[in-house]
Chain A
């Protein structure tokens, strides 16, 4: 649950710290995945930190976000704890989802984080629903959907925008245009050069900003939030950004050139913001470096915690399917044979 005033110097430092936290988290996650420590898939947010942090900084703590398969950054930006996130990546019991979600499904509904999501384009309808809920209860809350350029081709995204626009819901649709939908360049997936022109079809404001500049994202979301809270309906924002890593870890990336990656890396949202703060006299170079070291230490500690955390008990696989107890689960769980040859003892069958 985070809200940062980037107009103040303290807010600027905190925004920088949070971007660094994401970078360090994902650098570490990438390494741990490569080392075989973390199972499954991981999709890293490196390069896009300015979008997540800029957007969440402009939201209020009670606001909702929906996320994507590339969700670590959104989680940290919304104020989730790296320690419990890392534990989730490891599939440990103390993870945000008790080890049932993993990298692609981290959620903390109480913090307004309605889940990373493995389905491209599934978040916007959920955000529309959260905005509907807030509107019906007359709560001072908005819902922001992060989604990628690839998702703009999904039908349900358009349905969600149409609903939110038609009902003037307090929603914000934020496209992170990182230039590739998996391994296919954005121009091969869309007839629009500016994805923000999508908004015109729904008679809502749509515009494109530099997603590598956290201040642009912050300002845009702040304005969109104000519009939403005034009952004027949703806004569509396209943030131009770039993922510095592959679609997933291990992606050989035959679809792009080193030159392009370097060009975008030269606009790194963290380095560029840090140097602006140094230029403006808000921080010294030494302070930036010690902040980075502090953040790296925090993430290293989170990883260590996660490595040593408890595995879930195998019987927990049968928990959380339903709010109530369903006889089938007890009945069928009793038939499962453990890797160690044992069988669950908590059944009555």
Chain B
């Protein structure tokens, strides 16, 4: 990590998150840029809960969200400035900002969906991430008030809590594609799948009945999508070793599972799963298809044909801050109280 003299928090707000077709096809809530800016302002305010003054570095973006955020931060008791970087208006911006933060930040706050978090995780290294959900059906980030998230980040950055104890090491997934089309690798954070649909289209996974197979690095029924389907059969915590491999069938047979799951916001389905087994870190899980699309974290990413897709789960992902744990420890350590706890009693 970088400069220890001033506790530093990086802020990444993705202006493109939360605007996909699931606003039409499911019950996804809207996350407009005005709301994102308001949330991000709360994050900056939250930083002031920490005992030391925080330096906040904000990613600039093509929509001027970050720029406006910094411009309006005069009355916040923190050193707020813009990260010096080139703006491309693409997901590259997020990765470039995260890469810089990996050198200089003690904690980053990410406002975005699973896609944004995946982009951050590829370059953020070991810097703890506080993830606020502004995206659509999010598995990794949490819907939480910006002030609370900012306060958690401030506490982590000022080192008043034990970072190991308040973070979870999230897993990742990689898909290696060997096919007539689409060969190469695609990476994901929480879920990856193979969809029987000929094109990327509007990107979002709309119909889970099109899944042929996939793998997840975590699983729980409250997680919307593939990890929620798997989680209905067996759960897997984000920091558990390995993950789950999945195969889907047309109908229930002897060794199949029929799962009720929340598949898209606002949509509950019965899903037939022919296989859902624990896979070790690094263990290949292969699914093949004539023509389909590889998905990562709920989005269609690559069209493939005549392909064998091998998913592998890795345990060495980003450090995700568990927000309640931060505050529990802060209380236990008397960080938030103006007087030592003993004297108060």
The interface of chain A, by Cβ under 8 A from chain B, is 6-7, 12, 187, 192-194, 196-197, 199-200, 205-210, 213, 215-216, 218-220, 223-224, 227, 235, 276, 279-281
Contact = CB atoms under 8 A, between A and B. Distances in A.
Given A7-B198, A279-B182, A193 B24 contact: no
A215 B199 contact: yes
Nearest to B30: A200
22 contacts: A193-B62, A194-B33, A197-B30, A197-B32, A200-B30, A200-B32, A206-B23, A207-B21, A207-B23, A207-B24, A208-B19, A209-B20, A210-B203, A215-B201, A216-B200, A216-B201, A216-B202, A219-B21, A227-B24, A280-B303, A281-B180, A281-B306
B21 A192 contact: no
A168 to B, nearest CB: 15
A192 B15 CA distance: 10
Contacts of B23: 199, 205-207
A193 B63 contact: yes
Contacts of B62: 187, 193
B201 A276 contact: no
Contacts of A199: 23
A276 B199 contact: yes
Contacts of A12: 198
B337 interface: no
Given A200-B32, A220-B21, A193 B305 contact: no
Contacts, number: 94
B326 interface: no
A276 B303 CA distance: 8
Nearest to B32: A197
B25 interface: yes
A210 to B, nearest CB: 8
Given A194-B15, A207-B24, A281-B306, 14 more contacts: A6-B199, A7-B198, A187-B62, A194-B16, A197-B33, A206-B19, A206-B30, A207-B20, A208-B19, A215-B198, A223-B24, A223-B202, A280-B180, A281-B305
Contacts of A235: 24
B181 interface: yes
Nearest to A201: B32
Contacts of B206: 219, 223
Interface of B: 15-16, 19-25, 30, 32-33, 62-65, 180-182, 198-203, 206, 291, 303, 305-306
Contacts of A215: 198-201
A215 B291 CA distance: 15
A132 to B, nearest CB: 22
Nearest to A278: B181
Contacts of A210: 203
Contact of B202 (A206, A209, A276, A281): A209
Contacts of A205: 23-24
Nearest to B303: A276
Chain B: interface secondary structure? loop
B33 A208 contact: no
A12 B33 CA distance: 36
A289 B90 CA distance: 32
A264 to B, nearest CB: 12
Contacts of B20: 207-209
A270 to B, nearest CB: 15
Contact of B305 (A6, A196, A279): A279
Nearest to B36: A193
A6 B21 CA distance: 18
Nearest to A275: B181
Contacts of A193: 15, 33, 62-65
A193 B182 CA distance: 32
A188 to B, nearest CB: 12
A186 to B, nearest CB: 11
B181 A281 contact: yes
Contact of B291 (A196, A206, A207, A280): A280
A287 B201 CA distance: 23
A199 B28 CA distance: 14
A218 B180 CA distance: 25
B63 A213 contact: no
B33 A219 contact: no
Given A216-B202, A220-B202, A223-B21, A279 B303 contact: yes
Given A215-B199, A280-B181, A194 B19 contact: yes
3 cross-chain pairs, A with B, having the tightest CB-CB distances, nearest first:
A193-B63, A279-B181, A215-B199
Contact of A219 (B19, B182, B201, B306): B201
A183 to B, nearest CB: 19
A251 B63 CA distance: 27
A216 B30 contact: no
Nearest to A235: B24
Contacts of A209: 20-21, 202-203
A348 B181 CA distance: 73
Contacts of B25: 223
A207 B206 CA distance: 14
Contacts of B63: 193-194
B39 to A, nearest CB: 15
Given A193-B33, A223-B24, A227-B24, A280 B305 contact: yes
A12 B291 CA distance: 14
A220 B198 CA distance: 15
A218 B65 contact: no
A196 B180 contact: no
A235 to B, nearest CB: 6
B222 to A, nearest CB: 25
A213 B15 CA distance: 21
Contacts of A200: 30, 32
A33 to B, nearest CB: 32
B75 to A, nearest CB: 23
A27 to B, nearest CB: 26
A155 to B, nearest CB: 21
A256 B224 CA distance: 42
B24 A224 contact: yes
Nearest to A224: B24
